[in-house]
């Protein structure tokens, strides 16, 4: 709090998740499990870690909770690349999205005798696709509707 009875504080949290959807799906039938290998690098392209995810049809994975990916102090950027996606030992196509939510909370206190405290939270959300490396698969993508 400063000398005139006004004070403020702020806090922020960033939640990022990866969502994958296989393009080789059979509608209304059991689907094989899809495995996706992932490489994470820092923004300067130094290797951070490698991991993998698996899902049926689609999957959503939070970086901190599900994948145990942590950022370096002061860093907010990572690069992710999938090495390949497979079902039953065969390469398949997947679509990937990176979804980020920035939670910013500001708390302001006004007054000294009976201070009034206001807390405002603003969420900023954005989504962007993972890009394709244009390496064609040797097996065709198949989708079986109803």
What is the CATH class of 14-103+124-133?
mainly beta
What percent of the chain is predicted at pLDDT more than 90? 15
CA–CA dist 98, 77 (Å, integer) = 12
- The DSSP symbol for 45 reads -
Taking only the tens place, the pLDDT of each residue in 79-138 is 888 878 889 888 888 899 999 888 888 888 877 777 788 888 888 998 988 887 667 677
Cα distances (Å, whole numbers) of residue 121 to 84, 99, 101: 39, 19, 12
Q: What is the pTM of this model?
A: 0.73
3-state secondary structure 48-94: EEEEEEEEECEEEEECCCCCCCCCCCCCCCEEEEEEEEEECCEECCE
pLDDT band at 54 (very low <50, low <70, confident <90, very high): very high
For residue 30, give every residue at least 6 positions away whose Cβ sits within 8 Å of its Cβ, in sequence order, or none.
56
Lowest-pLDDT choice from 11-20, 56-65, 70-79, 85-94 = 70-79
One DSSP character per residue, 7-36 reads EEEEEEEEEEEEEEEESSEETTS---EEEE
CA distance 46 to 61: 22
Instruction: Report the chain's mean pLDDT, rounded to a whole number.
Output: 79
Cβ–Cβ < 8 Å for 36, 97: no
Q: What is the pLDDT of residue 142?
A: 66
User: What is the C-alpha radius of gyration for the chain, rounded to an integer number of angstroms?
Assistant: 22
Q: Are 22 and 92 in contact (CB under 8 A)?
A: yes
Predicted local confidence at residue 6, as pLDDT? 38
- What the block records as the tokens of 80 is 């992710």
Domain ranges of the chain: 14-103+124-133
Candidate ranges 32-36, 37-41, 142-146; pick with highest mean pLDDT: 32-36
């Amino acid at each position: 709090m400063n000398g005139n009875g006004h004070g403020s504080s702020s806090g922020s949290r960033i939640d990022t998740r990866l969502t994958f959807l296989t393009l080789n799906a059979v509608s209304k039938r059991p689907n094989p499990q899809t495995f996706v290998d992932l490489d994470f690098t820092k923004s300067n392209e130094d290797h951070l870690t490698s991991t993998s995810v698996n899902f049926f049809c689609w999957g959503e994975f939070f970086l901190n909770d599900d994948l145990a990916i942590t950022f370096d102090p002061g860093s907010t950027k990572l690069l992710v690349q999938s090495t390949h996606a497979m079902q039953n030992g065969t390469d398949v196509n997947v679509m990937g999205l990176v979804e980020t939510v920035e939670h910013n909370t500001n708390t302001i206190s006004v007054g000294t005798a009976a201070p009034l405290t206001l807390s405002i939270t603003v969420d900023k959300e954005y989504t962007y696709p993972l890009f394709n490396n244009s390496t064609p698969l040797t097996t065709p993508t198949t989708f079986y509707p109803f």
